[in-house]
Amino acid sequence: MTHHDDTQALLARLCMALGGTTVAAVMARHRFIGAMRVRHVACYIMHRRGMSYPAIARALNLGNHTSAMSGAKAAMDRAKREPAVHDLLEAEFPAKAPTPAEEAWMDQRRTIAVACNDLLVAIDRAVTGDGVLAGQSRRNLVDSLLRVRTLASEADACLAHW
Protein backbone atom coordinates (compact mmCIF):
# COMPACT_ATOMS: atom_id res chain seq x y z
CA MET A 1 0.00 0.00 0.00
CA THR A 2 1.44 3.38 -1.02
CA HIS A 3 1.25 6.69 0.82
CA HIS A 4 -1.43 7.71 -1.67
CA ASP A 5 -3.50 4.64 -0.83
CA ASP A 6 -2.99 5.23 2.90
CA THR A 7 -4.08 8.84 2.53
CA GLN A 8 -7.16 7.90 0.51
CA ALA A 9 -8.14 5.24 3.07
CA LEU A 10 -7.68 7.67 5.96
CA LEU A 11 -9.71 10.37 4.23
CA ALA A 12 -12.49 7.91 3.38
CA ARG A 13 -12.63 6.78 7.01
CA LEU A 14 -12.69 10.37 8.26
CA CYS A 15 -15.39 11.38 5.76
CA MET A 16 -17.55 8.53 7.03
CA ALA A 17 -16.85 9.26 10.70
CA LEU A 18 -17.30 13.04 10.56
CA GLY A 19 -19.75 13.22 7.67
CA GLY A 20 -20.60 16.18 5.50
CA THR A 21 -18.07 15.74 2.70
CA THR A 22 -16.36 13.44 0.25
CA VAL A 23 -12.74 12.51 -0.35
CA ALA A 24 -12.88 14.38 -3.67
CA ALA A 25 -14.00 17.58 -1.92
CA VAL A 26 -11.20 17.28 0.65
CA MET A 27 -8.57 16.71 -2.03
CA ALA A 28 -9.98 19.55 -4.19
CA ARG A 29 -9.26 21.98 -1.35
CA HIS A 30 -12.86 23.12 -1.01
CA ARG A 31 -13.22 25.49 1.93
CA PHE A 32 -16.61 24.47 3.24
CA ILE A 33 -16.77 23.30 6.83
CA GLY A 34 -17.08 19.55 6.23
CA ALA A 35 -14.05 19.37 3.94
CA MET A 36 -11.98 21.60 6.21
CA ARG A 37 -12.83 19.56 9.31
CA VAL A 38 -11.72 16.32 7.62
CA ARG A 39 -8.61 17.99 6.21
CA HIS A 40 -7.62 19.36 9.63
CA VAL A 41 -8.11 16.05 11.40
CA ALA A 42 -6.20 14.26 8.64
CA CYS A 43 -3.25 16.67 9.07
CA TYR A 44 -3.16 15.95 12.79
CA ILE A 45 -3.43 12.17 12.44
CA MET A 46 -0.84 11.97 9.67
CA HIS A 47 1.62 14.06 11.67
CA ARG A 48 1.09 11.98 14.82
CA ARG A 49 1.78 8.89 12.71
CA GLY A 50 5.16 10.34 11.78
CA MET A 51 4.68 12.14 8.48
CA SER A 52 6.44 15.45 8.02
CA TYR A 53 4.40 18.56 7.37
CA PRO A 54 5.78 18.93 3.81
CA ALA A 55 4.81 15.30 3.08
CA ILE A 56 1.32 15.91 4.50
CA ALA A 57 0.94 19.02 2.33
CA ARG A 58 1.88 17.02 -0.77
CA ALA A 59 -0.42 14.10 0.16
CA LEU A 60 -3.44 16.36 0.79
CA ASN A 61 -2.77 18.74 -2.10
CA LEU A 62 -2.23 21.69 0.26
CA GLY A 63 -0.27 24.80 -0.64
CA ASN A 64 2.76 24.12 1.55
CA HIS A 65 3.85 22.75 4.91
CA THR A 66 2.47 25.72 6.85
CA SER A 67 -1.04 24.78 5.72
CA ALA A 68 -0.47 21.29 7.15
CA MET A 69 0.83 22.77 10.41
CA SER A 70 -2.17 25.07 10.64
CA GLY A 71 -4.51 22.17 9.92
CA ALA A 72 -3.02 20.02 12.67
CA LYS A 73 -3.35 22.89 15.15
CA ALA A 74 -6.92 23.52 14.02
CA ALA A 75 -7.74 19.85 14.64
CA MET A 76 -6.65 20.21 18.27
CA ASP A 77 -8.78 23.34 18.60
CA ARG A 78 -11.72 21.51 17.04
CA ALA A 79 -11.27 18.59 19.44
CA LYS A 80 -11.89 21.01 22.31
CA ARG A 81 -15.15 22.31 20.77
CA GLU A 82 -16.50 19.41 18.75
CA PRO A 83 -17.26 16.12 20.54
CA ALA A 84 -17.15 14.14 17.26
CA VAL A 85 -13.57 15.25 16.56
CA HIS A 86 -12.56 14.72 20.18
CA ASP A 87 -13.97 11.19 20.23
CA LEU A 88 -12.34 10.33 16.91
CA LEU A 89 -8.91 11.48 18.07
CA GLU A 90 -9.32 9.70 21.42
CA ALA A 91 -10.08 6.48 19.57
CA GLU A 92 -7.13 7.00 17.22
CA PHE A 93 -4.63 7.84 19.98
CA PRO A 94 -5.80 6.41 23.33
CA ALA A 95 -4.08 7.69 26.45
CA LYS A 96 -1.29 5.33 27.41
CA ALA A 97 -0.81 3.96 30.87
CA PRO A 98 2.28 5.23 32.68
CA THR A 99 5.37 3.02 32.56
CA PRO A 100 6.76 1.56 35.81
CA ALA A 101 9.47 4.21 35.74
CA GLU A 102 6.90 7.00 35.39
CA GLU A 103 4.81 5.48 38.21
CA ALA A 104 7.85 5.32 40.49
CA TRP A 105 8.78 8.89 39.64
CA MET A 106 5.21 10.12 40.27
CA ASP A 107 5.16 8.28 43.65
CA GLN A 108 8.42 10.00 44.63
CA ARG A 109 7.08 13.37 43.57
CA ARG A 110 3.88 12.84 45.58
CA THR A 111 6.04 12.03 48.60
CA ILE A 112 8.04 15.21 47.99
CA ALA A 113 4.82 17.24 47.79
CA VAL A 114 3.77 15.88 51.20
CA ALA A 115 7.22 16.65 52.60
CA CYS A 116 7.05 20.19 51.21
CA ASN A 117 3.67 20.66 52.84
CA ASP A 118 5.13 19.39 56.12
CA LEU A 119 8.00 21.85 55.65
CA LEU A 120 5.59 24.75 55.22
CA VAL A 121 3.77 23.70 58.40
CA ALA A 122 7.12 23.47 60.23
CA ILE A 123 8.10 26.94 59.03
CA ASP A 124 4.75 28.33 60.08
CA ARG A 125 5.13 26.82 63.56
CA ALA A 126 8.82 27.74 63.83
CA VAL A 127 8.38 31.45 63.34
CA THR A 128 7.22 33.15 66.49
CA GLY A 129 5.27 36.39 66.61
CA ASP A 130 8.47 38.47 66.48
CA GLY A 131 9.94 36.47 63.56
CA VAL A 132 12.58 34.62 65.63
CA LEU A 133 12.97 30.84 65.39
CA ALA A 134 12.71 28.97 68.66
CA GLY A 135 15.33 26.27 69.42
CA GLN A 136 13.22 23.11 68.90
CA SER A 137 11.43 24.68 65.95
CA ARG A 138 14.76 25.49 64.29
CA ARG A 139 15.84 21.82 64.58
CA ASN A 140 12.50 20.66 63.14
CA LEU A 141 12.88 23.10 60.27
CA VAL A 142 16.41 21.89 59.45
CA ASP A 143 15.25 18.25 59.64
CA SER A 144 12.36 19.02 57.29
CA LEU A 145 14.66 20.78 54.82
CA LEU A 146 17.09 17.84 54.83
CA ARG A 147 14.21 15.39 54.30
CA VAL A 148 12.91 17.30 51.29
CA ARG A 149 16.40 17.49 49.76
CA THR A 150 16.92 13.74 50.29
CA LEU A 151 13.55 12.86 48.78
CA ALA A 152 14.22 15.02 45.73
CA SER A 153 17.59 13.32 45.20
CA GLU A 154 15.99 9.88 45.54
CA ALA A 155 13.29 10.76 43.00
CA ASP A 156 15.86 11.98 40.49
CA ALA A 157 18.00 8.86 41.06
CA CYS A 158 14.92 6.67 40.58
CA LEU A 159 14.14 8.39 37.29
CA ALA A 160 17.76 8.13 36.11
CA HIS A 161 17.75 4.39 36.94
CA TRP A 162 14.92 3.75 34.48
Q: Assess whether pLDDT exceeds 90 at residue 72.
A: yes
What does the pLDDT read at residue 129?
Answer: 52
What does the pLDDT read at residue 43?
Answer: 93
pLDDT in tens, 100-142: 888 887 888 788 777 777 777 766 666 655 555 556 666 676 6
**DSSP line for 90-103:** HHHSPPPPPPHHHH
What does the pLDDT read at residue 1?
Answer: 40
| Mean model confidence pLDDT for the chain | 80
Q: Assess whether pLDDT exceeds 80 at residue 84.
A: yes
**Whole-prediction pTM:** 0.58
Using DSSP, state whether 64 is helix, strand or coil: coil
More confident residue, 41 or 142: 41
